[in-house]
Structure 1
Amino acid sequence: MTFRIRAARDEDLQPLYEMAKLTGGGFTNLPPDRPSLKAKLDKSHAAFAKTDDTLADELFVLVLENAQTGEVRGTCQIFTHVGQHYPFYSYRIGTLTQHSKELGRTFRADQLSLTTDLEGCSEVGGLFLHPGERAGGLGMLLARSRYMFIAQHRARFADRILAELRGVIDEAGGSPFWDGLAGRFFGMNFQDADQFNAIHGHQFIADLFPKHPIYIAMLPENARAAIGLPHPSGRAAMRMLEIEGFSFDKYIDIFDGGPTMTAPTDKVNTIANVRPARLIAIDGDGGEPVLVAAGRLGDFHCAYGKLRAVGDGVAIDRACATALGLIEGDNLAWVARY
């Protein structure tokens, strides 16, 4: 069974909606709201249709498709330039150090400061794999396909890239971090705030969030414990980001306290190691396990395959070539699988 990544289409709205209902909350980029998902698809269509390679506020939505059945089983998103129309807020963890000569003691207090430091970055997000497909490296295919797309369209993306990981959510669907901090200023629970943000954007944060630093020691213990921790289901995603070269630089999500990972775009491992090649042959002789990408913008596809060097080009296996619609003489890009 072969899976491929492709650009999202209008007919993907229903499977996206069905997957959104499975996320369990706290998944801002994939809300279970049809109008919001339709708006995302419309914005993605506009981005795929734009042919000039300039940096702008765009969104690309990709889906994971079973190449045999056409069934959509996962999705991911790429934001080219965050914070251009609405502020992109994060909390930055900092430390205030003070010394008292009279007491002969130094006090260090950790603080959370509301910031827009990450404004202007690109963002990878919205990754969701259907629970029935969480095997065979499909999560890795979804994740790395975004970097393959960025490498193929580098001028459309910023020099720094971020990924927000969902934070700790309790069994009732609430957020200890939200309840201990922001919820006290908004008079709404986490689920309502998360849904409102997914549909209406961040402006209400600017209107109502406290602008002064928050002392972490003053938060409830369960809120403090959630700071910078990913949701249990996101631990594998965090490991994948670390493999790619992302790191946690003390930025956290303002809703659930989950970690925000960042990396220089050109130093993301997949982007740095993508190699262009010309397809010389299609055969079944095997080769190195790789990710293969082909096509630009709306014609972009990515899939696992096997590749070997042939003269001044490469050969790939027939299943991969079929999934990507490749014939001999076509150009492709590849990177080693891990």
Structure 2
Amino acid sequence: MSFRIRAAVDSDLQHLYEMAKLTGGGFTNLPPDRRALTAKLERSHAAFARTGDGVEDELFVLVLENTQTGEVRGTCQIFTQVGQSWPFYSYRIGTLTQHSKELKRTFRADMLTLATDLEGASEVGGLFLHPGERAGGLGLLLARSRYLFIKAHRARFADRVLAELRGIIDEAGGSPFWDGLAGRFFGMNFQDADQFNAINGHQFIADLMPKHPIYTAMLSESARAAIGLPHPSGRAAMRMLENEGFAFENYIDIFDGGPTMTAKTDSVRAIADAREARVARVADDGGVASLVASGTLGDFRCAFGDVRVGEDGVGVGVTEGCAGSLGIGLGDAVLHVPRL
């Protein structure tokens, strides 16, 4: 089967809605709500339509399409600058050290402090792959295509990029971290708060969340154990982020306690290693297994393909299947990066 990444369009709404119902909760960027998904698509259309440079508060929604059937089997999102419409809150994990001369002991207490340190960064998120397609590296295609999109439109993105990983969710769809901390102040369970946030944004956090630091020792054991841990289904995503150069710098999600990974945009491996070239040959004669991207904005496409770099270092050969998926031919410009 052949798959490609492309810009989301209105007719993808039903596919997105069906995938959103499979996420199992705690997936704020892909809520199972048609109105919220429609608003995302409208915002994405506006971002694809703007041709000017400069960082603004925008959202790009991409989808994974089976080119043989036309079915959408995955999606991912890129936010150009978080924290512009409403504050982007995180908990920052810190340590308070105190010493008692009388007891001859030093006490160290871990604390969670509400912070907006990450405001202004770009964000890669909303990645979801249909359970029926979790083989063949399609998750990698979804994840790395976002970096090639950023590379192709570098002036539209910030110098820092983050990725939030979903935290621990129990079998009932609840969050131990939420129950042990924020849930005590909001009078609603995790599912209700998560849905409200996905549809209405973070402002209610600013209205109700206590602003003073929280000593983790005061939380339940289950809440403490969830701090900074990804959902089991997100462990592979965390490894992929680490391979790209992202690191956990003690920021966690305020809802489920999942880790927030950060990196300098130009240091992300796929962005730093991507190369521009012109197609000089279309043939199935081998090469390096790669991601290949073409086009800009709404015409952006990305797919797997073998790339053979020519002796001049400028022209490349690509496989016929890749060229067909991207709709490219001789002389067309592409970005390519090894698949890993």
Scaled by the length of structure 2, the TM-score of the pair is: 0.99
Counterpart mapping for 1:108-123 below 5 A: 108-123=108-123
- Once residues 173 and 54 of structure 1 are traced to their aligned partners in structure 2, the CA distance between those partners, rounded to angstroms, is 40
**Offset of residue 270 of structure 1:** 0.2
Task: Give the corresponding residue for 1:211.
Answer: 211
State the match for 2:190 in structure 1. Answer: 190
- Counterpart selection for 1:330 from 306, 329, 332: 332
Q: Tell me the alpha carbon deviations over residues 126-168 of structure 1, each in whole angstroms, 9 at most, x when there is no partner.
A: 0000000000000000000000000000000000000000000
Partner of 1:58: 58
The match for 2:5 is 5
Q: Residues of 2 paired with 1:306 and 1:292: CA distance? A: 9
Alpha-carbon distance, 1:102 to partner: 1.4
Kindly report which structure 2 residues correspond to 1:37-76, keeping only aligned pairs within 5 A, or say none. Answer: 37-76=37-76
Residues 1-338 of structure 1 correspond to what in structure 2 (within 5 A)? 1-312=1-312, 313-338=315-340
DSSP 3-state at the match of 1:185: helix
Structure 1 alignment gaps of length 5 or more: none
Give the match's secondary structure for 2:198: helix
Question: Which portions of structure 1, spanning 4 or more consecutive aligned residues, are displaced by more than 3 angstroms?
Answer: none
CA distance in 2 between counterparts of 1:239 and 1:70 reads 30
User: Residue 272 of structure 2 aligns to a residue in which SS?
Assistant: helix
The residue identity in structure 2 corresponding to 1:318 is: E
* SS in structure 1 at match of 2:229: coil
Q: Which moved more, 1:194-203 or 1:93-102?
A: 93-102
Q: Distance in 2 between matches of 1:310 and 1:214?
A: 58
Deviations, residues 94-120 of structure 1 (Å, cap 9, x unaligned) = 000111111111111000000000000
DSSP-derived class of the 2:11 partner = helix
CA-CA distance at 1:310 after TM superposition: 2.9
What is the count of residue pairs matched by the alignment? 338
CA distance in 1, matches of 2:290, 2:148: 12
Percent sequence identity over matched residues? Answer: 77
SS in 2 for 1:135: coil
Inter-partner Cα distance in structure 1 for 2:266 and 2:309: 25
Cα distance per residue 1:210-242 (max 9 Å; x no partner): 100000000000000000000000000000000
1:85: Cα distance to partner?
1.3
Aligned-partner Cα distance in 2 for 1:189–1:237: 27
Provide the secondary structure at the position in 2 that maps to 1:68: coil
CA displacement at 1:287 relative to structure 2: 1.2
CA distance in 1: counterparts of 2:287 and 2:96, whole angstroms: 55
When structure 1 is superposed on structure 2, of 73-82 and 304-313 the one drifting more is: 304-313
Distance 1:145 1:251 in 2: 25
| SS of equivalent residue, structure 1 residue 285 | coil
Q: Give the superposition deviation at 1:309.
A: 2.1
Q: State how far apart, in whole Å, the 2-side matches of 1:284 and 1:130 are.
A: 29
Amino acid at match of 2:335: A
What TM-score, normalized to structure 1?
A: 0.99
